[in-house]
Amino acid sequence: MKNKNPCVILLLLAVTACGFSSSPQFVSQQSVEDKVARVKLGETTRNEVEAIFGAPQVRDKRLWAYNFSDTDTDFREMRAAVWAGLMPEMSLTVPTNTRALITLRFGDADKVKGLEVARYFSEPYTHDYWYLVKAPTDKVLQVVAGIGERNGFKVSRSNETPNTFKLEEPGSKASMTVTLENQTLHLTSNNPYDRLSTEYRIFVKRETAFIDNLSSSESLE
């Protein structure tokens, strides 16, 4: 799974801040879901990805990234940040209504081996991650749990659901659910806090570090 490129998301956000968008119209959650559903790990090729999503905004040898956001700019969150004293008042305008950030990771056969989808439609904010793994089930779950603990998560297991556990942030309602089915590792992040809140930002920072570590782990190959 070693395809890590720490500059990709920052570059994608920088492109967004400059006013570029991969869509010239309103982006609905259903349209994003429909496109994502067409991607099959281990099967979908680069050409098929481009047919589904269009040309990527970030194109790396092993990673493609897309930002789908509305044409209209929503300044509600920026105004709220000014009023809350979180940032000084200034004549700066940036898009704050990003709807989805999609990252696809490719294997040696130029087929999708990882899919990451961050949605920003409404609370709770849900992010999904799918990875094609080859290691034995017990080893995969052990590696994921270990990476989670090193990034400050508490591992919560349930005997009722096999090959599934939660990564919980202490003192927070936000969490990640980890499920391994066959060779597909699926993680769902649920963040119920307002995007301007401290709780939201703390969890996103922890989640990002965890995913960076997970996606670069050679133990899941």
Q: Could you list the residue range(s) of the whole structural domain that residue 161 is in?
A: 123-221
Q: Residue 151: count other Cβ atoms within 10 Å of its Cβ.
A: 19
Burial of residue 56 (number of CB atoms within 10 Å: 0-12, 13-18, 19+)? buried
pLDDT for position 69: 82
Domain identity same for 134 and 103:
no
Q: How far apart are CA 176 and CA 126, in angstroms?
A: 10
pLDDT for position 208: 94
- Choose one of 85, 105, 121: the last residue of a domain: 121
pLDDT for position 88: 55
Total domains in the chain come to 2
Domain identity same for 53 and 80:
yes
The encoded tokens of residue 220 equal 């899941």
Burial of residue 70 (number of CB atoms within 10 Å: 0-12, 13-18, 19+)? middle
The predicted model scores a pTM of: 0.78
Domain identity same for 131 and 111:
no
pLDDT for position 71: 58
- Choose one of 121, 149, 176: the last residue of a domain: 121
- Choose one of 79, 104, 121: the last residue of a domain: 121
pLDDT tens track, the chain, 221 positions: 555 454 455 445 444 444 444 434 578 888 899 999 999 999 999 999 999 999 999 998 899 999 988 755 544 554 555 555 555 554 444 444 568 999 999 998 899 999 999 998 888 899 999 999 988 888 999 999 999 999 999 999 877 788 999 999 988 999 999 999 989 999 999 999 988 899 999 999 999 999 999 988 887 77
pLDDT for position 171: 85
